[in-house]
Amino acid sequence: MIPINVQKLLTQKDIKYAVKHIFATVKTPLYLITPDGEILFGNYQEDLSEKYPIELSGSIFAWVVGNSAALPVSCLITFLIKQEFEKKSLAKELLERYEEIELFDELSTQITNSLDIKQIAQLVLERISQIIECNVGVFLLLDTESNKLKPISKFGDFGCFEFPIILGKGILGEIIKRGKGEIVNNIREGVKCYNSDEPVVSLICVPLKNKDRIIAAIAVGSQTQISYTTEELKLLNIFATQAAIAIEKALLYEQSLNAAKSAREKAKELQQALDKLQQTQTQLIHSEKMSSLGQMVAGIAHEINNPVNFVKGNIGYGFNYAQDLIELVELYRQNYPKPTSDIQEKIEDINFDFLKEDFINLLNSMKVGVNRIRDIVRSLGIFSHLDKAEIKSVNIHEGIDGTLMILRHRLDNNQEKKSIQIVKEYAKLPLVNCYAGQLNQVFMNILSNAIDALQEKGDLIIIRTQILQDNRISISIIDNGPGIDQQVQTKLYDPFFTTKEVGKGTGLGMAISYQIVVEKHGGTLTCVSELGKGTEFCIEIPVESSCEI
């Protein structure tokens, strides 16, 4: 009830005018006095003894004192005050409803613009606490898998209630399962509380539903005795209706995000699988080409080896025969110092003295050339290693030297390319158990890249081998070229990544090299480089490899 100040009320223009008019109209003596003895209208007269109350809702606010005429006057003034009070009560109620509507509108705008479930729950509880008298509140979200309601926002101490709430268990669980908001004003009668000094005494609980499906719930209460009414329940239902719409929208948004995330992850997995398949396919083709190349090289080497061996074997005899023939001619010249004119003419025509010296040099040159061919054929054989599918003990230095022999045409100075110096810093290495042909392929890739880099800047390649701890060896290939950018270094071993022009690089060399060293030999392949200061590739592998293809 609105507090009434009768004196203030009676001094209002309309009421004051009406009361004055009443007192002026009545010809008998009257006066209006408060319970405290203050005269508001009329003059005090001791001989007036009849008094009649001005009351509202059972409370007396003033007396009309006079004779029998005072009764209708008190009734009339009471009617006027009651009418004014009802007008003020209606105005206050309208103002409160307007404020509630404004609050609901503000809340609706805020939660509609939010897709964050926790933020929605917090906003709803804040607004409820502004309209409904409460000092505890909780917003519960249903986990459909566990059938439990978990708090996502709350304030105050719920003490006697354990979270999460099992649907259908306990006061809150039962109310929520019934699917209809309820008021409980006597919680102490049904709940024993041992873990709170100030248990919740009264509460209102309203489930949030979407198409008759419970999705959440709101509960507010007080730790002091309050008798909640259906009016508060209606308000909470309005909040619940708005919150249910916002929560459902937020849940749909969350589901769409999860679905999008899952789709992205699946797309990523598919892309990775596709990349892996493409990489594997390319590597298989590459391996098949290398295998075919190895067989072809081995076949060519074998075919070249036979005539080369024939030539080498006969050069020795040719050298001896030539030596014998020259000695025989010299013997003739000593015994027949004056040859016939025909013989003398022939000697001069063929420049015999030059021929006998140059013929020996010619045979020596042929011998050197044949040896060179044999070295190349041997290097091709070492590089191709038709037995590369098997692990075997090999001399690593032979593999490096064989690779250098094959690349010699790119190292020597010519019109198109400058000469590159090779410095070997070989340690005394044991035989290494490895896939020799594949390691030679790694040496070929790294050395070829180094030679390409040195065409821009630099002229030195250092090849250093070392014995490491844990029965491992290292092979370092160092150049004084332009170096590799840090960003490029992070992509060196990515399949199909290349900095070379189109048609000059497949982007598979370093990727395959990494796979050979790391996956097939259990080693490491690292790159240390700085722009302008050259590059070092370091291969570390165990002496006894246990990896298998």
What's residue 191's pLDDT?
56
Tokens of 477: 């290939």
Q: Residue 154 falls within a domain, yes or no?
A: yes
Domain of residue 174, CATH code:
3.30.450.40
For the chain, state the CA radius of gyration: 54
Does one domain contain both 86 and 126?
no
Residue ranges of E strands in 375-459: 392-394, 421-425, 432-434
Beta-bridge partner residues of 227: none
Q: Is the pLDDT of residue 484 over 60?
A: yes
Does one domain contain both 156 and 95?
no
More confident call, 408 vs 57: 408
Q: Residue 403 falls within a domain, yes or no?
A: yes
Does one domain contain both 85 and 126?
no
Kindly state the helix (H) or strand (E) to which residue 248 belongs, with its residue range. helix 230-335
Burial class (CB in 10 A: 0-12, 13-18, 19+), 5: exposed
Does one domain contain both 176 and 39?
no
For residues 235, 237, 239, 245, the Cα torsion angle rounded to the nearest 10 degrees is -160
What's residue 386's pLDDT?
44
Write out pLDDT tens, residues 355-399.
888 888 788 778 777 777 776 776 666 555 544 556 888 899 988
Distances (CA, A) of 471 to 396, 464, 477, 543: 15, 17, 20, 6
Please state the rounded mean pLDDT for residues 149-172: 86
The domain boundary, picked from 75, 105, 135, lies at 105
Look at 57-61, 182-186, 442-446 and tell me which has the smallest mean pLDDT. Answer: 57-61
What's residue 335's pLDDT?
86
User: Which domain covers residue 129, as residue numbers?
Assistant: 114-257
Does one domain contain both 75 and 180?
no
Does one domain contain both 402 and 538?
yes
Q: Residue 494 falls within a domain, yes or no?
A: yes
Write out pLDDT tens, residues 425-450.
999 999 999 888 888 889 988 998 88
Does one domain contain both 97 and 134?
no
Query: pLDDT class for 157, splitting at 50, 70, 90?
Result: confident
Q: Residue 187 falls within a domain, yes or no?
A: yes
Does one domain contain both 99 and 124?
no
Spatial distance between the Cα atoms of 412 and 345, rounded to a whole number of angstroms: 46
Q: Residue 408 falls within a domain, yes or no?
A: yes
The one-character DSSP state at 517 is: I
Distances (CA, A) of 270 to 255, 257, 265: 22, 19, 8
Does one domain contain both 517 and 465?
yes
What's residue 523's pLDDT?
92
Q: Residue 395 falls within a domain, yes or no?
A: yes
Burial class (CB in 10 A: 0-12, 13-18, 19+), 524: middle
More confident call, 33 vs 468: 468
Residue ranges of E strands in 343-471: 392-394, 421-425, 432-434, 460-468
Residues 6+ apart with CB under 8 A from 206: 181, 217, 218, 219, 233, 236, 237, 239, 240
Question: 439: closest CA among 396, 470, 408?
Answer: 396
Q: What is the mean pLDDT of the chain?
A: 79
Please state the rounded mean pLDDT for residues 341-348: 84
Q: Residue 223 falls within a domain, yes or no?
A: yes
Domain of residue 406, CATH code:
3.30.565.10
What's residue 103's pLDDT?
56
Number of domains in the chain: 3
The domain boundary, picked from 77, 105, 133, lies at 105
Q: Residue 298 falls within a domain, yes or no?
A: no
Query: pLDDT class for 226, splitting at 50, 70, 90?
Result: confident
Please state the rounded mean pLDDT for residues 521-533: 90
